[in-house]
Structure 1
Amino acid sequence: MSDQTPSHRPQGTALRRGWTTGACATAATKAAFSALAGGGFPDPVRITLPKGLTPAFSLAMQERGEDWARAGVVKDAGDDPDVTHGALVQATVRRGPPGSGVRFCAGEGVGQVTRAGLPVAIGEPAINPSPRAMMRRAVEEIAAQCNVSGDVLVEISIPGGEGIAADTLNPRLGILGGLSILGTTGVVVPFSCSAWIHAIQRGIDVARAAGLEHVAGSTGRTSEKAVQAHHALPDAALIDMGDFIGGMLKYLRTHPVPRITVAGGMAKITKLSQGFMDVHSRRGQADLGQLARLAATAGADPDCQARIAASNTVAEAFGHAQEAGVSLGDAVARAAHAFAQGLIDPQRSRLEILIFDRAGQRVGRAGFMD
């Protein structure tokens, strides 16, 4: 989901935290409204985050017109690989009608919501509730300091944001025209993958709001294309869960749909069968000895078991099983199903596990069977 790479840091050095698009938009809004209210552009501009942190942001640009003011902040994501790192987040503030409060609109590069199930309504700019609340507080603070009305229209823009958004899940979620303004705390924790988890949850919300009764989470593009073709699913039913199988299933436990398919490659689903909920390589490797013992339950003889246990990769192990006529994929799928079933509510959802090889051919299945 990212085309950014973290900074090179000496080994053992703590990773540097960054700031969300919501925090940057708040800083830009506060600076612009300060200028519009007669207080000038504060540079740096200090804001208060929901948990009490008070970071200061340098302004990358500032402009002033007769009835508007604009300020911009360059997003610093710290050492997190974030597609919006380095993007210019701008806020243009204009006076609004008396009693209108703080209203928001999407400028260049900020998306609009076109589907139900997201935290903001259809037709609204894709600015999440927490950033909206932060910007409202910033406007209230300046209004009190300058003794002016806090009735304003805040337009958030990210030049080039529509192109950046093509590398995110926004188009699939029905957020069109650009990026979302996100961030519950205002802080980006490096490699927390909170944005990906957020996208998984919003994808499920959108599918439920559309009345879909079957969703499919995939570990990668190959398995996603294969499961979509296998079940003839619409795009809105496809959840890019990546390595976060546990995260997706736990959300589906409390936000259920009737049918759930987990689709992935041989190595990822093998790890799921061995109790991994996050199947990224940094969380550990598949146990090939355990895989060999599972192969025995599918009829592998001792020689085949030994070859599987001595394999360099899971793919090689599957190859040995195939040569021996052993249905290792189905055995792995059954074991993964048994584990994953405990993460959902089986009274409200049925679960299926599908395993695909690198060519998109199905090599294992458990569940549904109807």
Structure 2
Amino acid sequence: MSSETPQAQRAKGGRGAQLERSGLRPGWTTGACATAATTAAYTALLTGEFPDPVTITLPRGQAPAFALATEELTGTSATAGVVKDAGDDPDVTHGALVRSTVRRLPAGAGVVFRAGPGVGTVTRPGLPLPVGEPAVNPVPRQMMREHVARVAALCGGSGDVEITVSVDDGEEIARSTWNPRLGILGGLSILGTTGVVVPYSCSAWIDSIRRGVDVARAAGRTHVAGCTGATSERTVVAEYRLPENALLDMGDFAGAVLKYIRRHPVPRLTVCGGFAKLSKLAAGHLDLHSARSQVDKGFLAGLAGRAGADEALAAEVAAANTGLGALQLCMSAGVPLGDLVATAARDRALAVLRGAPVAVDVMCIDRAGAVVGRSAVA
């Protein structure tokens, strides 16, 4: 799957070595699939034959081959389709059929991109594409342009083409993504900066967080909220009446939100999430996933002790089965552990922001969405 030897990848300490050690199989982005389909379609348009499999070159030099799932050739256009294989990543677009239809344009027209069925259109500013453009991101566009130029040079074409990218059932799949909130309507985005899907890297989620910040800034929002889930979103909306494009689906990626806002400040950030998750942020973790960080009940016991809990209560907190269990013990004793965690989480967020002009407050909630801890704005 890579043009490099395993020895070379290990020597570079790159993703290939990491994936080899993990035992997880990488996959291909929608951008790589669209590039493969485009390459096959344009080759057929010029030669009458579809290369199958079709080989492309990715930005980091890998040269994967893709089998064609569909092909259609008419007098004026050619269409090829590739089924996306996301490897071992739990990607909602795994198994999606990505099609590219290539049509000749007059000399000098260049490469023009269109959104076919299942590919979205940009309707709000703040994204890396202008309003009205098909949601085919810049790197996949560049990959397709480069491969069109290569095919033209090999097969005698001008390289002036219209590329229409579509994804079967893409509009339905897109409902499970951030696209509707970001103002990308009608389907999926064609994504990818390397062409490779790294299993469990969650790069698409983090990219969506960044685009959410961009859209909020472009809309003039001065207050955004990073929320760990739907319940925390409802709590923030009830508290602050924030519009949808001010809500960042942070999930477990507190660090991704804070680091991006550090570089692209918004005047105010509210972080809202479950008490247990935010206790991890308070303790210094920036990835809140249960597989990568755990609730530190000893840390919670220390906070409780500094707030007046006696040794017996602190010991109970340290031995509690869950973070919420520790919180309930303190609430019964009148110790404001929720506020202490929220304040510590806010201070951790401010430390990551490194003096960026962003005021921060934190709200901790229980499973029902009730606020059980709150920090001041600082």
TM over 0.5, shorter chain: yes
**2:351 equivalent among 317, 342, 356:** 342
Q: Match for residue 323 of structure 1?
A: 332
Q: In structure 2, what residue type is equivalent to 1:126?
A: A
1:30 is the counterpart of 2:44: no
Determine if contact 2:78/2:101 at 8 Å carries over to the other structure.
yes
Counterparts of 1:177-196 in structure 2 under 5 Å?
Answer: 177-196=186-205
The equivalent of 1:125 in structure 2 is 134
Unmatched 5+ stretches in structure 2: 1-20
* Cα distance change, pair 109–273 in 1 and its aligned pair in 2 (3 A): same
Which residue number in structure 2 is paired with residue 362 of structure 1? 371
2:301 corresponds to 1:296 = no
Correspondence for 1:277 among 253, 275, 286: 286
2:83 is matched with 74
Q: What is the letter of the counterpart of residue 55 of structure 2?
A: R
Q: 2:255 aligns with which of 232, 246, 261?
A: 246
Superposed CA RMSD: 1.1
Alignment of 1:1-370 (within 5 A): 14-368=23-377
What is the alpha-carbon distance in structure 1 between the residues aligned to residue 122 and residue 112 of structure 2? 16
Residue deviations 1:91-110 (CA, integer Å, cap 9, x gap): 00111122110100000100
Give the AA of the match of 2:200: F
Q: What letter matches 2:143 in structure 1?
A: M
TM-score normalised according to structure 2 size: 0.93
In structure 1, C-alpha distance between the alignment counterparts of 2:363 and 2:103, rounded to whole Å: 53
- For residue 85 of structure 1, what is the amino acid of its counterpart? H
Assess if the C-alpha contact under 8 Å between 1:68 and 1:95 holds in 2.
Answer: yes
Q: Give the Cα separation in 2 of the matches to 1:137 and 1:246.
A: 35
Contact 2:38 / 2:80 at 8 angstroms: preserved in 1? yes
Q: Deviations over 1:142-199 (max 9, x none)?
A: 1111111111100000010000000001000000000000000000000011001100
Give the match's secondary structure for 1:122.
coil
d(CA) in 1 for partners of 2:305 and 2:131? 53
**For residues 65 and 196 of structure 2, what CA distance do their matches in structure 1 show?**
13
Change (3 A) 1:315 1:121: same
How many Å separate the matches in 2 of 1:302 and 1:293? 10
Q: Distance in 1 between matches of 2:352 and 2:337?
A: 23
State the Cα distance separating 1:13 from its structure 2 match. Answer: 6.3
Amino acid across the alignment from 2:153 = A
Letter in 2 for 1:27: A
> How far apart, CA to CA, are the structure 1 residues paired with 2:48 and 2:61?
24
Q: Could you tell me whether the CA contact under 8 Å between 1:219 and 1:241 is conserved in 2?
A: yes
Distance 2:40 2:356 in 1: 52
Task: State the Cα distance separating 1:252 from its structure 2 match.
Answer: 0.3
TM-score when normalising by structure 1: 0.95
Q: Which runs of 5+ in 1 are unaligned?
A: 1-11
Cα shift at 1:345: 4.4
Question: Once the two structures are aligned, what percentage of the paired residues are identical?
Answer: 60
User: Which AA in structure 2 matches 1:16?
Assistant: R
SS at 2:189 equivalent: coil
Q: CA deviation at 1:359?
A: 1.1
Supply the distance in 2 between the matched residues of 1:112 and 1:172 (Cα, whole angstroms).
13
Q: Distance in 2 between matches of 1:260 and 1:117?
A: 18
Q: Distance in 2 between matches of 1:166 and 1:284?
A: 29
Q: Is the 8 A contact 1:39 1:146 kept in 2?
A: no
> How far, CA to CA, are the matches of 1:136 and 1:79 in structure 2?
29
Q: Give the Cα–Cα distance (whole angstroms) in 1 for the partners of residues 357 and 319 of structure 2.
A: 41
Question: 1:5 aligns to what?
Answer: none
Q: Secondary structure at the match of 2:375?
A: strand
Q: State the alpha-carbon separation in 2 of the partners of residues 363 and 36 from structure 1.
A: 63
Say if 1:13 and 1:218 are closer, same or farther in 2 by CA, change over 3 A. closer
CA shift, 1:346, in A, is 3.4
Worse-superposed segment, 91-100 or 206-215: 91-100
Q: Which residue of 1 aligns with 2:12?
A: none
Q: Which amino acid aligns with 1:300?
A: A
Cα distance in 1 between the residues matched to 2:166 and 2:287: 35
